[in-house]
Amino acid sequence: MARTSFLAALSTLLLASLSLPPCASAQRLLAYDTLSGSTPGAVTCGFCGGEKAAVIYYELPGGAGLRPSEFPLLVRELIVAVASGSAASATTCSVGTTPREGLFDLAVYAGMTVPAAIAALPAEGVWPGEIEVTSAIEVPLTLSISSSATMPMYTVNLISIPLDPVGLRVEAGYTYLRVVLGMRADAAVDSAICAAGQGPSGLPMRDDARIEAHRDLIYAGPPTSAWLWNEEAGIAGDWAIRLDVRPMGVADGGVPDDGGTVEDAGASADAGVDADAGAIDAGAIDAGGAPPAPATDAGCGCAVLGDARDRAPIGLVLSALCVTLALCRSRRRR
C-alpha cells in the first residue's frame, strides 16, 4: 500500500514538472578578456580621475555572446581586476608597489539596441533605451601591485563583488548589458598627464589582444569629453570586467538555454587564476586628451609573479550598494 502511494505521488510530481515552463538556471560568466596563467596582460596607465572603462555584452555574429533569448536573467556578481600605477610622463608609466585600496564607481545597465555611435552619449547614467540595473560610488577595491618598481611583475587580484544574494533581475525585451568602471581622483597619486589632484585612484587591467571591435570602450575626459571604442582609442586589449549572470530565458526554438558557456573570448571561467599582467601600457590613450593612432599601443616586458583571489569585503561593498539595491528592488516591483 505504501509502495502504491509512493508511485502515485511520484507520477503526480513528474506530471506537474512537465507542465512547468522551461528555464535556464545555470550560472554563466560573461567575459571578453583572456587573462589567465598562460596569456599575457597589461595595465593601461593613461587614465585620470573621472574617466571610465566599460564593456558591452550582447549577441555576437554566429549566435555567440549574450543572446536576447537569454532574457530575463539575473545579474549576480561583478568581477574586475584593477591595478596601482599612473603616468610618469606622456610616454612612460609609474608602477605601483605599495599595497593599498583604490576607490571606483561601478554601474550595470541594460539596453535594447547597442548604439552604433557612442561619442555623444552621456558620460553618466543611462543611455537612450537603457535602464539602470545597479550602481555604486566610491567602492574600495584592492589594487594589484608589482613586486618591482623597475620591472613590472604584478600579482593580479580578480575581485568578486556580489551584487545581490539572489541576483538583480533584468526582464525580457532587453538585449545587452553595459558594465562601467569609473576611476575616482586621488590627490595623493601623482600623474604627469592629469590636472592637479586628478591622479587616478587605480587603473583597469586588460589582456593584450582585443577580441573584436565594438566590445570595450572608455570615457575620455576633457578636452575629448567623449566615449571611444578601445580600437578608436588605440587600446589593444579587452578590459578585465566580467559579469556572473543566470539566464532565465530560452534559446531559439523553445529549448532551455544551458547558460553554462563562457563568453566567446576564451576567458577562464575561474576568476582566481593567475594572470601575467605585468606589462605596462605606456602608449595607449591619454584619457585627458586626443586619442593617438591605434598603432601607438606600446608596453614593456613583463613576468608573472603569481596570483591572488580577493573577494571584496562584504561590509565595505554593502555600505556602498545598499541604497542602489533598494532602488533596484523598487524598480522590479514597478
- Per-residue pLDDT of 21-47, as tens digits, reads 334 458 899 999 988 756 677 899 999
User: Do the domain assignments include residue 291?
Assistant: yes
Mean pLDDT, rounded, for 171-189: 97
Pairing of strands 40-44, 276-281: parallel
Residues spanned by the domain of 147: 22-333
User: Do the domain assignments include residue 4?
Assistant: no
pTM higher than 0.85, yes or no?
Answer: no
Q: Which residue has the cell 608602477?
A: 95
Instruction: Give the model confidence (pLDDT) of 260-300 as tens digits.
Output: 334 444 443 333 333 334 455 543 433 333 333 333 333 22
| Mean pLDDT for all residues in the chain | 75
The pLDDT value given to residue 309: 38
User: Do the domain assignments include residue 131?
Assistant: yes
Instruction: Give the model confidence (pLDDT) of 104-140 as tens digits.
Output: 999 999 999 999 999 999 999 999 999 999 999 999 9
User: Do the domain assignments include residue 78?
Assistant: yes
Q: CA–CA separation, 183 vs 165, rounded Å?
A: 26
More confident residue, 54 or 308: 54
User: Do the domain assignments include residue 94?
Assistant: yes
User: Do the domain assignments include residue 305?
Assistant: yes
User: Do the domain assignments include residue 9?
Assistant: no
Number of domains into which the chain is organized: 1
Q: CA–CA separation, 250 vs 255, rounded Å?
A: 6
User: Do the domain assignments include residue 179?
Assistant: yes
As beta bridge partners, residue 140 has: 103
